[in-house]
Amino acid sequence: MKESIYAALRGEFVRPELPDIGTIVDNIYTVILCPVCGQKTLDNYYICGHCGWEYDNFPEDHHSAANGATLQEYRDEYNRIIKERS
C-alpha cells in the first residue's frame, strides 16, 4: 500500500489530462473523482495517478488485494503521508 502511494507521489503513474467528470474515455473508462484523494481519475481498474489507488469498485469495508487495504485504510495512510510531507 505505502509503495503505491509513494510511487504516485513521485509521478510514476501516468496522469493524463482528463475531461469533465462523467465523460467516457476510450469507450472503457468513466472520469470519476478518486475515492481516496478526490482528484479526477478513471474507473474500471485504473490506477489513480495522484494517490496510486486502483479503482476496483469494492465496498469501502472490503479488503482489496490490488490495493493491500480497505478503501478507508488506504485513505487514512494516504492522508498520513500527505500530512507528513507538508
* pLDDT value of position 10: 93
Q: Give the global pTM.
A: 0.90
Condensed to tens digits (0 to 9), the pLDDT of residues 32-53 reads 999 999 999 999 999 999 999 9
Q: What is the 3-state secondary structure (H, E, C) of the chain?
A: CHHHHHHHHCCCCCCCCCCCCCCEECCCEEEEECCCCCCEEECCCCECCCCCCECCCCCCCCCECCCCECHHHHHHHHHHHHHHHC
Segments forming the whole domain that contains residue 33: 2-85
Q: Mean pLDDT over residues 20-34, rounded?
A: 96
* pLDDT value of position 66: 93
Q: Work out how many domains the chain is built from and give that number.
A: 1
* pLDDT value of position 1: 87
